[in-house]
């Protein structure tokens, strides 16, 4: 599933192409994705200019004139592709489920083979209280995210720290890949009890989370299966993984001598070095 860096990369691509442009036509090629489309979905968006595109956690928030907001989620396999509008009658892939066309002559295809993504409508006035967004934790790239803020979110939690980092109420947008990588960089065991992450440990982890996310964004995200940028280009941060999907490989920490191991936590694979992560 795309995590914060992948969604941020997609948002930046959409922002560059669409902000200031206007949807001239929106075509739904099926009645639903993970959820049914709102009644009048295409009609509501058609004719409106795109004012702002931003990310919240793993959600794409597209604000259009008149206070309309489209909340998008890529699910497991969703992607947007921006391209010049083709000639009339051009064929679509069977998994191209929504087609956005703009006044400036662009076409944006939403492609989602597994259909776990969704697009919902709300308004700017109701956005903060929307069920998909309410209760989400702090943005790890925001100015207010630091060791003390993270420790406060973890206080009293007895779950393993890896599981806590996947809880979007603790920190927004961090998923399995980047939780593994951040824990390795901060030398914290994924099995450590969350409530024990305080002081220097919390400071190290907060810094590692921010660093790994920022580096992944600069690399265009990680492409393991379906993810691609809006241009169709793949992300390449997967070539810089230190432990994720490296089971049996030597620990990359100089002088450690350990091997990367895999364990399953909450149904997800965790990769770590038991020798240098404590």
Residue among 56, 58, 109, 246 flagged as catalytic: 58
Residue tagged active-site, from 3, 8, 15, 181: 3
Q: Among residues 22, 81, 210, 268, which one is catalytic? A: 268
Q: Is residue 140 part of a domain?
A: no
For 173, the token pair is 């947008």
Do 185 and 215 share a structural domain? Answer: yes
Q: Looking at 98, 129, 160, which one is the last position of a domain?
A: 129
Q: What is the pLDDT along the chain (278 residues), one digit of tens a residue?
A: 789 999 999 999 999 999 999 999 999 999 999 999 999 999 999 999 999 999 999 999 999 999 999 999 999 999 999 998 775 656 789 999 999 999 999 999 999 999 999 999 999 999 999 999 999 999 999 999 999 999 999 999 999 999 999 999 999 999 999 999 999 999 999 999 999 999 999 999 999 999 999 999 999 998 776 777 888 887 888 989 999 999 999 999 999 999 999 999 989 999 999 999 99
Residue 42 lies in a domain: yes
CATH number for position 167: 1.10.8.50
What CATH number did the domain enclosing 88 receive? 3.20.190.10
Closest CA relative to residue 139, chosen from 234, 231, 57, 17: 57
Q: Is residue 80 part of a domain?
A: yes
Specify whether 124 is located in the same domain as 164. no
Please provide the DSSP assignment of 155-202 as one string. TT--SBHHHHHT-TTTSSS--HHHHHHHHHHTT--TTSBGGG--HHHH
* Residue 170 placed within a domain: yes
Q: Is 225 a catalytic residue?
A: no
Question: Residue written as tokens 């919902």?
Answer: 120
Convert the pLDDT of each residue in 130-139 to its tens digit.
Answer: 999 999 999 9
Query: Is there a domain that residue 162 lies in?
Result: yes
> Is the same domain home to 182 and 213?
yes
Q: 36 an active-site residue?
A: no
Exactly one of 2, 138, 140, 190 is catalytic; name it. Answer: 2
Same domain, 81 and 197: no
Q: Is the pTM of this model over 0.85?
A: yes
pLDDT in tens, 104-116: 999 999 999 999 9
- Boundary (domain end) residue, out of 73, 103, 129: 129
Q: Establish if 142 belongs to a structural domain.
A: no
| Structural domain span for residue 24 | 4-129
Q: How far is CA 5 from CA 2, 111, 158, in A?
A: 8, 19, 28
- 261 and 159 in a single domain? The answer is yes
Active site residue 268: yes
Q: Name the domain count of the chain.
A: 2
- Whether 97 and 155 map to the same domain: the answer is no
Together in a domain, 88 and 158 = no
Q: The tokens 């993504």 sit on which residue? A: 117
Query: Does 87 lie in the same domain as 24?
Result: yes
Residue written as token pair 């803020």: 149
Confirm whether 10 is domain-assigned: yes
274 included as an active-site residue: no
Residue 141 lies in a domain: no
Q: Quick one: 123 and 19 in the same domain?
A: yes
């Amino acid at each position: 599933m795309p995590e914060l860096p992948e969604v941020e990369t997609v948002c930046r691509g959409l922002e560059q192409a669409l902000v200031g442009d206007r949807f001239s036509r929106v075509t739904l090629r099926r009645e639903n994705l993970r959820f049914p489309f709102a009644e009048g979905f295409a009609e509501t968006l058609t004719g409106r200019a795109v004012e702002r595109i931003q990310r919240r956690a793993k959600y794409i928030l597209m604000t259009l004139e008149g206070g309309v907001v489209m909340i998008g989620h890529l699910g497991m396999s969703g992607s947007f592709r921006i391209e010049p509008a083709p000639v009339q009658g051009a064929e679509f892939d069977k998994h191209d489920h929504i087609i956005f066309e703009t006044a400036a002559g662009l076409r944006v295809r939403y492609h989602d083979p597994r259909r776990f993504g969704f697009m919902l409508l709300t308004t700017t006035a109701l956005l903060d209280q929307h069920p998909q967004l309410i209760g989400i934790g702090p943005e790890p790239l925001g100015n207010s995210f630091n060791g003390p803020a993270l420790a406060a979110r973890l206080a009293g939690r007895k779950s393993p720290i890896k599981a806590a980092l996947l809880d979007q109420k603790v920190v927004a947008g961090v998923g399995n890949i980047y939780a593994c990588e951040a824990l390795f960089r901060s030398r914290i065991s994924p099995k450590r009890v969350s409530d024990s992450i305080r002081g220097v440990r919390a400071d190290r982890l907060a810094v590692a989370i921010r660093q790994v996310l920022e580096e992944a964004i600069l690399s265009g995200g990680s492409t393991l299966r379906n993810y691609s940028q809006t241009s169709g280009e793949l992300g390449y941060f997967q070539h810089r993984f230190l432990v994720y999907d490296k089971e049996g490989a030597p620990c990359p920490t100089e002088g450690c001598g350990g091997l990367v191991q895999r364990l399953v936590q909450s149904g997800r694979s965790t990769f770590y070095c038991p020798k240098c992560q404590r």
